[in-house]
Amino acid sequence: MDFVKDLFVLLHLVGMAAIVGGWIAVARAPKVIPPILWGARAQVLTGLILVGLLEATDETVNNAKIGVKLVVALAVAACAEIGNARQKRDEANPMLVNAAGGLALLNTAIAVLW
């Protein structure tokens, strides 16, 4: 079970890197690129799976921290999805891309510092 949990932590870190790295890569001309969109989707999924794995192995879960992270992650995903949909209609919105990247960075800080 430890290996499975570690595997999902790895996927969770790759998802974080995809969003933050993707955001940095497009910093000069912000737009939603696939790593940002798929990274945002992956974070919600891998995060929830991690909570399930921690509960299943009776490890303590900080519910307040997880609750805040879930709300922030849903906001990241919403910004990425709406930004992507608007881009398809030629209505690029750099603010949504910066919000997705900035909030993902905030969630990384919450994960490490809380």
State in angstroms the smallest separation of the CB of 69 from ligand HEM. 4
In angstroms, give the least distance from the CB of 83 to ligand HEM: 15
Binding segment for ligand HEM (CB under 6 A), chosen from 29-37, 66-74, 78-86, 87-95, is 66-74
The residue count for the chain: 114
Out of 11, 26, 51, 92, point to the residue binding ligand HEM (CB under 6 A).
51
Q: Return d(Cα 55, Cα 88) in angstroms, integer.
A: 40
**Residue 75 buriedness (CB in 10 A; 0-12 / 13-18 / 19+):** middle
Question: Does the footprint of ligand HEM cover residue 96 (CB under 6 A)?
Answer: no
Closest contact distance (angstroms) between CB of 89 and ligand HEM is: 25
CA 39, CA 32: separation in Å to the nearest integer? 11
Binding residues with ligand HEM: total (CB under 6 A): 21
- 11 within 8 A of 46, measured Cβ to Cβ: yes
Check binding of 80 to ligand HEM (CB under 6 A).
no
